[in-house]
Structure 1
Amino acid sequence: MTTEPRRLRNYINGEFRDAADGRTTEVVNPATGEAYATAPLSGAADVDAAMAAAEEAFPVWRDLVPAERQKVLLKIADAIEARAEDLIAAESENTGKPLALTRSEEVPPMVDQIRFFAGAARLLEGRSAGEYMEGMTSIVRREPVGVCAQVAPWNYPMMMAVWKFAPALAAGNTVVLKPSDTTPASTALLAEIIGGVLEELGHPKGVFNVVCGDRDTGRLMVEHPVPAMVSVTGSVRAGQQVAESAAKDVKRVHLELGGKAPVVVFEDADIAKAVEDIAVAGYFNAGQDCTAATRVLVHESVHDEFVTALAKAAADTKTGQPDDEDVLYGPLNNANQLAQVTGFVDRLPAHAKVEAGGHRVGDKGYFYAPTVVSGLKQDDEIVQNEVFGPVITVQSFTDEDQAVAYANGVEYALASSVWTKDHARAMRMSKRLDFGCVWINTHIPLVAEMPHGGFKKSGYGKDLSAYGFEDYTRIKHVMTSLG
């Protein structure tokens, strides 16, 4: 007896709907490689309907006093907390992530981030009034931008959805959100939760909408004339296409496009502690994190010691099924991603050495062993390009200047870390590293109050923090005659 796949739906104007033309796509559990659901493959009619709903709801939502929007967000945070186990199950099915780690490392930050932006809703302010021309008073208004088209990635479907909708709604915008075509399940559940709160409190149904689909669906959203802003987390190629398309209507664009974080370990670092923390920060979520600690630069005097210890840490790191509480990470998200990671390792140059891992695990699902590769050169493909898998590369450097040159010598500029006991050196490095975040003697912690976002081909705009909130606003100058 076979079980019928679960049917996921779009959420438009307060209603769950199939795609207008009935098209669907299979949703696969990466831990098993088997389809467990279908989701709408949305087309132009679906995007039109979602945008119309968001556009109609915008004036009402915009004109609410901030305290009312705060109340909604706080209620959403409470509702997510109450439905945590359902969301954890959906997210694990989406991604194959360990249940225990999703429970401890994702849901609490999500709830905290929503509550942070609930507070930010009441700080939608401009500069104080002043007279800058005789007989005239100027004030600055900070306003929401309008309808926001948002595209979330598959590596953190729930959390990235929060990073997008929470600041947008707090600032007074309305939202049309598209999850990745491989991970729509938890977003559909978020729509149920958020829609329930909006309905309970009597707010417009079109404030929050979810449209499922593929790249073409996303393209239709970006090209649509209604959105005033497009926010995308994804690949550099996707970001370039979005920016080019949005430029035709001069839409505001917010992009987070990946990273290749350098992890600079100096000779005076606590090597044992560095190895322990870097292994976790490199392999967590199967390395499918734009800030993952996967490009290590180690001073030549401690290089061999570090590589030996990291290879042992990799051998001690476990990947496996979501219900195994001993695993650090689950599978890669999809078959294409498994092929990409495998390809990087298969194409390693002759001078590279696989110190640990370097192979698929099992024949069911998309699991890949924790991997360490040494002997690399700066211009090697695996050093320059984002692998987005559980693969940590190690290079050696001779001095601080060479470390900086190697660290900055990639097209990405999202995150980085420095490991040293020398405070002055840590401060110099934090200035010289060309990345949106520099951690010192740690790697990967994030808090709602601090900004996350990169430079160069890692994109522009900030997530989290007051800066992320302000990205979803516009500035208006108002001048009045005192006469």
Structure 2
Amino acid sequence: MTEKELKILGIKLKNYGTSTGSDWFTNKDTILSSSPTNGKPIARIERTSHKDYEKVIKEAENAKLIWRDIPAPKRGEVIRQLGEKLRETKPTLGKLVSYEMGKSYQEGLGEVQEMIDICDFAVGISRQLYGNTIHSERPGHRMYDQYHPLGIVGIITAFNFPVAVWAWNSALALVCGNVVVWKPSEKTPLCAIACQHILADILKSNKLPEGISSLITGDAEVGTWLSKDRRIPLISATGSTRMGRQVAITVAERFGKTLLELGGNNAIVVTPNADLKMTIIGAVFGAVGTAGQRCTSTRRLIVHESIYDKVQQSLVEAYKQIKIGDPLDTQYHMGPLIDTDAVQIYVNALTKIKEQGGKILVTGRVLDGEGYESGCYVTPVIAEVENHLDIVQEETFAPILYLIKYSGDVRNAIELQNNVRQGLSSAIMTTNLREAEIFLSQNGSDCGIANVNIGTSGAEIGGAFGGEKETGGGRESGSDAWKVYMRRQTNTINYTSSLPLAQGIKFDL
């Protein structure tokens, strides 16, 4: 990206300590932002010190007193302005997402569109923060429940969706009357800085405190500060199951609340009644989109034995057409992995597949040569395996698709699909109504997301997003996910001159 494009997003590289030479990699007080597309450093960003962290939290505490007293529809107006600004900056912000994270430019634009969509959704929610009116058993009494802001919401996000997940949380948390403190992935800090600039400018133009939205940068240590901080009632954390488990334990020790969006091990069930053309499109995009680095990426394809060979052949042919290269070049389907550490995880997974008895159908390798100088480009893999293998039970954040054969009816496939520790996204490909309904029933998929005739990857803003088991149980985005950012209060009003007790209890004086 050019400096001119970054300035559109409020980023002036000289303000972030850009440099050249070996000191890019040796300064412990900074985070290096580099692009996996070419391996080149973009900027060096200062880490948040504990002293600065305390300043941020104090400003947030002051800002929350002002923000929560602003009527919810007025808060919604601020988020509407955010959505409009995102529309203006979509091409540039989408390009930054693509360049810093490595996903295709089309996916970068799609991620910014998710931000716009959640802003639109949140504006509507700002006029619908409803409680219930409840009939009291006592005459002359009225009961109802209402929702109040929590205060400060801490947001920890992952590299694979460096801007959208922040928006999912912030748009809703803000219209609910909270202020937010964001700790982004240290692998994509510039995307976070761009978003912070956009919202900060809107707050300033509305004469609102900048502490309504704050950004802190750093590694896991900074995330631990958030998790331990009793001044932050809710921590929303997106990332690996390992990270989420630590956050959950730390926050639970102080009786805080968590919203966890963690690992996925997503499967598509393909029955004999599937539309195979749709199946191949859904499976290939699900497996190679974002280079397999989505939490909803398709990891497993569970195929009925009667069509297994046909599906396998079609997939192998489809994989021959996948083009890998610079994600900003729209001719390519797949870009790089986020860094060389991710590449090593990919390589290790291929070794484990072979060691555990799997069969590689489409061989994977690390690409080198012209255009692949970063060392982060790999080829997608298809492996024939059994569901119980240890490597299949893990989530490998890479473009590796496992083919698994099933026999009998759809219930056998569902049992295989559910037999992993994660429970995020799932799908079935079938034109048979009974199979679809069984899959969606209480005896069907155990995931938070269950789709029919679409893949596991990609979700609309209107529905609640999240999963069960080691996925963490959190729900973000649509439906009534806004309620997690608020505290519920039950109110009972007695407008009589007597004091009857509940359950008919008598207590006379």
Amino acid at match of 2:468: F
Q: Residue 150 of structure 2 contacts residue 233 of structure 2 at CA under 8 Å; is this kept in 1? A: yes
d(CA) in 2 for partners of 1:49, 1:262: 45
SS across alignment from 2:137: strand
Aligned residue for 2:405?
A: 396
265, 280, 291: which one aligns with 2:296: 291
Separation (CA, whole Å) in 2 of partners of 1:255 and 1:317: 33
Distance in 1 between residues matched to 2:15 and 2:269, nearest whole Å: 44
The residue number in structure 1 matching 2:104 is 98
Q: Once the 2 structures are TM-superposed, how far is the Cα of residue 101 of structure 1 from its aligned partner?
A: 3.5
Check whether the contact 1:9–1:212 (CA below 8 A) recurs between aligned residues: no
Q: Which of 420, 429, 444 lines up with 1:410 in the alignment?
A: 420
Within 2, Cα distance between the matches of 1:227 and 1:156?
23
- 2:433 is equivalent to residue 423 of structure 1: yes
Q: Does the 8 Å contact 1:66/1:121 carry over to 2?
A: yes
2:341 aligns with one of 336, 344, 364: 336
- Post-superposition offset of 1:466: 3.0
Residue 129 of structure 1 and its aligned partner are, at CA, apart by: 5.3
Q: CA deviation at 1:418?
A: 0.3
Instruction: Map 1:41-440 onto structure 2 (within 5 A).
Output: 41-103=47-109, 105-128=110-133, 130-349=135-354, 351-362=357-368, 363-365=372-374, 366-374=376-384, 376-399=385-408, 400-431=410-441, 432-440=444-452
**Unaligned 5+ runs, structure 2:** 4-11, 18-26, 497-509
Contact 2:90 2:113 in 1 (8 A): no
1:307 & 1:476 partners in 2: Cα distance?
55
Deviates more, 1:406-415 or 1:323-332: 323-332
Counterpart-to-counterpart distance in 2, 1:34 and 1:270:
44
Q: Does the 8 A contact of 1:194 with 1:208 survive in 2?
A: yes
Contact 1:132 1:138 in 2 (8 A): no
In structure 1, the residue corresponding to 2:354 is in which secondary structure? coil
Task: Find the aligned partners of 1:369 and 1:132 in 2 and give their Cα distance.
Answer: 66
Contact preservation (8 Å) 1:28, 1:34: yes
Corresponding residue for 2:505? none
Give secondary structure in 1 for the equivalent of 2:126. helix
Query: How many pairs were matched up?
Result: 468
Please, what is the CA RMSD of the aligned residues?
1.8
What is the Cα deviation at residue 107 of structure 1? 2.1
Relative to the length of structure 2, the TM-score reads 0.89
Q: Provide structure 1 residue ranges, at least 5 long, that are not aligned to the other structure.
A: 11-20
* Separation in 2, partners of 1:410, 1:458: 11
What percent of counterpart residues are identical? 25
Moved over 4 A (4+): 7-10
- Give 1 or 2 for the bigger CA radius of gyration: 2
Shifted more, 449-458 versus 93-102: the winner is 93-102
Equivalent-residue separation in structure 1 for 2:228 and 2:242 (angstroms): 16
CA–CA distance in structure 2, aligned partners of residues 118 and 9 of structure 1: 33
* Distance 1:334-1:7 versus aligned 2 partners, 3 A rule: farther
The amino acid that maps onto 1:410 is: V
Deviation at 1:470, TM superposition (A): 1.2
Give the Cα separation in 2 of the matches to 1:64 and 1:415.
Answer: 37
Q: CA deviation at 1:233?
A: 0.3
- Cα distance in 1 between the residues matched to 2:83 and 2:315: 39
**CA displacement at 1:22 relative to structure 2:** 8.9
Shift of 1:174: 0.3
Equivalent pair of 1:314/1:357 in contact (CA under 8 Å): no
Q: CA deviation at 1:9?
A: 5.6
What is the CA–CA distance in structure 2 between the aligned matches of 1:98 and 1:292, rounded to whole Å? 15
Q: Distance in 2 between matches of 1:69 and 1:456?
A: 35
